[in-house]
Amino acid sequence: MKYVLDGLNCPRCAAKIEAEIKRIPGLEQAELNFATKTIDLPPGYEQEVQAIIERIEKGVVLRPHKEEEKENKIAALLPIGLASLFLLAGFTAENVFSSFSSYLFYGVAYLLVGWKVIIRAGQNFFRGFLFDESFLMTVSTFGAIVLREMPEAVGVMLFYSLGEYLQDLAVAKSRRSIRALMNIRPERARVRRGNRWVEVTPGEVKPGEIILVQPGEKIPLDGRVVQGLSFVDTSLLTGESLPQRVEAGEEVRAGTINGGGVLEIEVLRPYEESAVARIMQLVEEAAGRKSPTERFITTFARYYTPAVVAAAVTLALVPPLFGNGSFQEWSYRALVLLVISCPCALMVSIPLGYFGGIGAAARRGILIKGGNFLDGLSVAHTVVFDKTGTLTEGVFAVTSVHPAPGYSEKDVLYWAAAAEVHSHHPLARSLLRACAGESLPEAAAGDYREVGGLGVHATVEGHEVLVGTSRLLSAHGVVVPHQDFPDGTAVHVAVDGKYIGSVILADRLKEGVGRVLTELRGLGIKKLVLLSGDSKKKVQELTASLNFDEAYGELLPEDKVRITEELMFRLPGKRTLVFVGDGINDAPVIMRAHVGIAMGGLGSQAAVEAADVVIMDDDPEKVAQVIRTARFTRRVVKQNIVMALAVKGLFLLGGSLGLAGMWEAVFADVGVALLAVFNSLRLIRQVPREKEELLPAQI
């Protein structure tokens, strides 16, 4: 069950909570998604996890994900505004009245913005959680008060609180952007119950029931149109802006928008199994799969902050002991170091950067299942394509039938289609369309078997029927006569061990295949490879027209895996191989590749579930788009890391030499964190400029 950690806005605390939860037996694989503030837990662990949360971050509440999150940002801003007024009053009192009266105003201002930070630091101290931002801010401001730098102590706590407030707003904006990208879930469904239409939630509708969708409404569940004609806007699901025409007999997906006509739709799947529910689950789970960079930063912060605290203590004690300056002077410099050392910029902006990249891709109808796959795509060296359904439309048409002597064209089509009734392969669907209107017997379910990459072996009306490649028939002792077939794919048919003829089906390339290969070369992809179960002759012809570096034909699923492994073995350094496929036969090689991309529209459920990236509208040009998005994300993340470390390093040096005070330290902490967060939000708000997109990545 999915839970929300309501009130969680501290990335360091999120990392601590996740580490503690993973120590509970049975929750070793738990992942806390800071970007969405969610965690998946099995039943029975709620109280134990809530106790851990209370121990680390007071005020954070674990609640079921379905409840609506409410945040009062005005209430959080009120103490900051009052503290600012009291700080100004303190400055006035110090100049007009006495320093004692000014300290009263400073004290009130300090407590208004600092009491929560102080309490949290104290709680964490007694629980053994040291060196977080609350501890650092409390120690540094207490030290400033002791050194009679009261205005600076108030200023540090005030700007820290203001920075936290603005940072929370930026994080919330990112979350709202992701929610907006996923705002495809229909709230209500109009279902026929008896003689009237009743409005219910989509989850209450069962497969087989009829729902009514008016023009302009979202289609709430996957189904088949039984009455009506309309145009459906699929842009929320696939990123495709051109509406698609639908009529009786055609399938529609949940989350798409009905255009101009009223549709009655027979529900095919429950809501939990619909396309929209699966997309939302994939996008939400994506941010939980952390990239190596995110894991490194979490580990880095664990050691970085204690190291800086140790350096601050050394800086405060060692120089005065050797007579080099006063204890007060070096203590002040040490306090500056404590403020600067907070790793908030890295802990917040890095996960947001990856989540922004995932969101930007989702808006284009591309689902990336984790930040680690963005990293893999950004260093792609070789892209391997399946042919049928990936580069071709996967909609075959029967172009000719070649019966053996003694048989008719109708006989060959009849037995081929009857054997393929249970198959979902594009070739099988085409055979069935060619026999539309014919009364076909169904292959016996118990004696129906698909032979991966070769065809089907079925029993129809007591007869053994083989439909597929010449290799399949030869393996069963059937002799296939040599023939010169016209362009297309030959499907051979045998009944009771006797060859009865062949059916020729032709497919065509998808629009834009040539462009995507050119774009990939422009992006610096070094090798393009084609794998297919089609004949070597047809594969070679396609290779010549599209300029692949390597091409292989007549492959079984295990052959594709073997060749992919050989290509991976030849990769230089830490570069990766990307495989793009669509069919059930592609699932093994999709899983074996460094990054597997599945065509989600025509693609099989197995391929979509096995893939790391899903292209929802089957557009091959989006392969280049997703690589560009990955590289843009990688650039933004690197910018954040370099900016945060460079600025902090500069101010740490300046603070040690006495060239930076508390005000500069606040910028080095809060200011840099905000700059990094806003830089990450660029990924959600915009795409890289065309000039940048076409440049090869600097890898």
Separation CA 116–CA 104 (nearest Å): 19
Strands 455-460 and 463-468: antiparallel
pLDDT of residue 696: 39
pLDDT of residue 502: 92
Separation CA 514–CA 503 (nearest Å): 29
Q: Give the DSSP H or E segment for 174.
A: helix 150-181
Between the two ends of the chain, the Cα-to-Cα distance in Å is 40
Instruction: Convert the pLDDT of each residue in 332-362 to its tens digit.
Output: 888 877 777 766 666 666 777 787 787 778 7
* 480 CB-near residues (< 8 Å, 6+ apart): 470, 473, 474, 492, 499
**Neighbour-count burial of 288, counting CB atoms closer than 10 A to its CB (0-12 exposed, 13-18 middle, 19+ buried):** buried
Q: Is 256 a member of any domain?
A: yes
Q: Is 412 a member of any domain?
A: yes
Q: Is 577 a member of any domain?
A: no
pLDDT of residue 210: 92
Q: Is 264 a member of any domain?
A: yes
Answer yes or no: are the C-beta atoms of 161 and 668 closer than 8 Å: no
- Phi-psi category of residue 468: left, alpha or beta, with phi > 0 → left and psi -120 to 50 → alpha: left
Q: Is 119 a member of any domain?
A: no
Cβ neighbours, 10 Å, residue 372: 20
Strands 397-403 and 380-386: unpaired
Instruction: Convert the pLDDT of each residue in 99-110 to its tens digit.
Output: 667 778 888 888
Q: Is 303 a member of any domain?
A: no
Of residues 279, 219, 283, 282, the one with CA closest to residue 255: 219
User: For residues 169 and 405, which has the higher predicted lDDT (pLDDT)?
Assistant: 405
Task: Please give the DSSP secondary-structure letter assigned to residue 668.
Answer: I
Separation CA 32–CA 152 (nearest Å): 36
- Per-residue pLDDT at 690 exceeds 50: no
Cβ neighbours, 10 Å, residue 464: 16
pLDDT of residue 344: 66
- pLDDT classification of 72: cutoffs 50, 70, 90: low
Neighbour-count burial for 433-454, b at 16+ CB within 10 Å, e otherwise? ebbeeeebeebeeeebebbebb
Q: Is 499 a member of any domain?
A: yes
- Per-residue pLDDT at 280 exceeds 70: no
- pLDDT classification of 608: cutoffs 50, 70, 90: low
Of residues 521, 532, 594, 593, the one with CA closest to residue 557: 532
Q: Is 143 a member of any domain?
A: no
- Per-residue pLDDT at 630 exceeds 80: yes
* 667 CB-near residues (< 8 Å, 6+ apart): 651
Give mean pLDDT, residues 424-436: 77
Give mean pLDDT, residues 87-104: 75
Give mean pLDDT, residues 272-284: 61
Query: Residue 65 maps to which CATH number?
Result: 3.30.70.100
Tell me the DSSP string of 542-610.
Answer: HHHHHT-SEEE-S--HHHHHHHHHHHHHT--TT-EEEEEE-SGGGHHHHHHSSEEEEETTTS-HHHHHH
Domain count, the chain: 3
Q: Could you list the beta-strand ranges (E) of 109-195.
A: 189-193
- pLDDT classification of 604: cutoffs 50, 70, 90: low
Instruction: Convert the pLDDT of each residue in 166-182 to its tens digit.
Output: 666 666 665 555 555 44
Query: Residue 275 maps to which CATH number?
Result: 2.70.150.10
Low-confidence winner among 68-82, 337-351, 369-383 (lowest mean pLDDT): 68-82
- Per-residue pLDDT at 201 exceeds 50: yes
Neighbour-count burial for 627-646, b at 16+ CB within 10 Å, e otherwise? bbbbbbbbbbbebbbebbbe
Separation CA 348–CA 338 (nearest Å): 19
pLDDT of residue 242: 57
pLDDT of residue 578: 94
Instruction: Convert the pLDDT of each residue in 216-263 to its tens digit.
Output: 888 888 889 998 888 887 755 554 545 778 888 888 888 778 877 889
Answer yes or no: are the C-beta atoms of 79 and 108 closer than 8 Å: no
Query: Residue 490 maps to which CATH number?
Result: 3.40.1110.10
Answer yes or no: are the C-beta atoms of 549 and 416 closer than 8 Å: no
Task: Give the residues across from 455 on adjacent strands.
Answer: 451, 468
Domain that holds residue 25: 2-70
- Residues of the chain with pLDDT > 90, as a percent, come to 9
Of residues 523, 509, 493, the one with CA closest to residue 626: 523
User: For residues 433 and 493, which has the higher predicted lDDT (pLDDT)?
Assistant: 493
pLDDT of residue 695: 37
Low-confidence winner among 111-115, 280-284, 397-401, 415-419 (lowest mean pLDDT): 280-284
Domain boundary among 45, 70, 95: 70
Cα 99 to the center of its chain, rounded Å: 56
Domain boundary among 472, 506, 540: 506
Separation CA 416–CA 434 (nearest Å): 10
pLDDT of residue 689: 43
- Per-residue pLDDT at 528 exceeds 90: yes
- Give the residue numbers marked as catalytic: 386
Out of 172-176, 477-481, 651-655, the most confident range is 477-481
Strands 613-615 and 463-468: unpaired
Give mean pLDDT, residues 83-98: 77
- Phi and psi for 261 in degrees, rounded to 5? -125, 160
Reduced to 3 states (helix: H, G, I; strand: E, B; else coil), residue 96 is helix
Average pLDDT, the chain: 77
443, HSE (Cβ side, Cα atoms, 13 Å): 26
- Per-residue pLDDT at 637 exceeds 70: yes
Give mean pLDDT, residues 569-577: 90
- Per-residue pLDDT at 556 exceeds 60: yes
pLDDT of residue 697: 38
Please give the structure tokens belonging to residue 116.
């929560």
Instruction: Convert the pLDDT of each residue in 657-685 to its tens digit.
Output: 777 777 677 777 777 777 877 787 787 66
**Neighbour-count burial of 483, counting CB atoms closer than 10 A to its CB (0-12 exposed, 13-18 middle, 19+ buried):** exposed
pLDDT of residue 67: 44
456, HSE (Cβ side, Cα atoms, 13 Å): 24
Domain boundary among 459, 479, 506: 506
- Per-residue pLDDT at 694 exceeds 60: no
pLDDT of residue 691: 37
